[in-house]
Amino acid sequence: MVPRYTRPQMAAIWSPEERFRIWFEIEALAAEAMAMLGTIPAEAARAIREKGMPRAASIGPAEVEAIDAIERVTRHDVIAFLTWMGEGIGPEARFMHQGMTSSDVLDTCLSVQMVRAADLLIADVDALLAALKARAEEHKYTPTIGRSHGIHAEPTTFGLKLAGFHAEFARNRARLVAARAEIATCAISGPVGTFASVDPRVEAFVAERLGLAVEPVSTQVIPRDRHAAFFAALAVTAASLERLATEVRHLQRSEVREAEEFFHAGQKGSSAMPHKRNPVLSENLTGLARLVRSHVVPALENVALWHERDISHSSVERVIAPDATIGLDFALARATGMMEKLTVYPERMQENLEGLGGVVHSQKVLLALTQAGLSREAAYAAVQQAAMATWTRLGKADARSFAENLLANPDVAGRLDAAALAAAMDPQRDFRHVDTIFARVFAAA
């Protein structure tokens, strides 16, 4: 991921320096477990830890280049690392990696990194949930028009819109928690996963120290269905971000103007048109969501490896693991800031709600007429006729409101007087159950 969309904490997880430090920790823990089991000398495990830890801690750009230089000769990243570590540890380094295979280190390290990334993403979602809840409570009873197919439907509240997003991101949080649990596995099982040269108790020891579970059957690699589920959870979260961003983009359109991204002092919207205030944050979120979602297909294709292992998944994961988590981390933080500062225009919402002369109350009039004795077919025809008469004359000199057109129809006027019609069209009727919905969404929040 390019630096523009990278936050330091998430980037640090995927840095080569951190990757090598995790590799060392896996090797040191495995050596300590082997020493306890009598597989290697206790003094060897002690030397690996005491001499290796400061060497691993000191890894910076120069040390990364030194390891890379070895790899250019060995053509093997783990061997290059072990060679470099051995130069600092000394003769006892020969007891590192006993009975292990490269995937034991690589896959367990990837699990650690993905768990750490998931922790950051879950915290990101928590921040977004807090912002959505605060704004939902603020606009709990702010009337606005609900739209279906982009067309005015019936009144709702802006708070209910945001409550819906809160509920969605609460589900996304649960998905991320589940994905974290699924990926939090350790494999120290040796070639083809049979433990032929390493005791399963070594794996259990390393897993416990790293906060991971043991992989029941690793076949030399951790099964990639786990990783696919992880990236799928990220993709669904990204899709929800795009839905939120799309809502903001539509509400900011000049013809709507019900809400807009905060416009900072000194901000410029266009190099050519000084009047522009563009929804750049939500448009950026839409693009980032597309990127995150694009990693799902390669993750799914990684599931079908040959026999006990191949490395067709490796190059894919070196790209998608950092990019998907870094991109989603940035996007979630950006969405949180956008919602915290979102400028809302209740007056404009009210104007739009009333802008079609009252036709948005058509269903309630339909129900009132059927309850007053008119057949549903006749009631629907009368209400639709009045609605179309209102809709087609909007802004004209001879325009009449929806209520006026309704009362001009004998079938309507004979069953509903002006007071009864006004009661049926009272917008407050639409908001009677807002508290019930909020209780469902925020009871445990």
Catalytic pick from 58, 197, 270, 315?
270
Backbone angles phi, psi at 153, to 5 degrees: -115, -90
**How many residues would you count in the chain?**
445
How far is 174 from 62, CA to CA, in rounded Å? 41
Per DSSP, helices labelled H in 362-445 are 362-371, 376-392, 402-407, 410-413, 418-424, 434-442
Report residue 274 as tokens.
């000084």
Cβ-contact 424, 368 below 8 angstroms? yes
In terms of phi and psi (left: phi > 0; alpha: psi -120 to 50; beta: otherwise), the region of 296 is alpha
SS3 402: helix
SS3 290: helix
How far is 129 from 444, CA to CA, in rounded Å? 12
Establish whether 270 is a catalytic residue. Answer: yes
Catalytic pick from 148, 149, 254, 275?
149
What's at 427, amino acid-wise? P
Cβ-contact 177, 155 below 8 angstroms? no
Backbone angles phi, psi at 101, to 5 degrees: -125, 165
Spatial CB neighbours of 208, under 8 Å, sequence gap ≥ 6: none
Residue 25 CA to its chain's centroid (Å):
30
Residue among 343, 338, 339, 360 at smallest CA distance from 144 = 360
Distance separating the N- and C-terminal Cα atoms of the chain: 33
Using a 10 angstrom Cβ sphere, with 0-12 exposed, 13-18 middle and 19 or more buried, the burial of residue 62 is exposed
CA-CA-CA-CA torsion sign (46, 198, 16, 116): negative
What's at 320, amino acid-wise? I
In DSSP terms, which residues pair with 343 in a beta bridge? Answer: 260
How far is 222 from 308, CA to CA, in rounded Å? 10
How many CA atoms lie less than 13 Å away from 431 in the CB half-sphere? 17
Report residue 433 as tokens.
């159950």
What's at 256, amino acid-wise? V
Catalytic positions, please? 149, 270
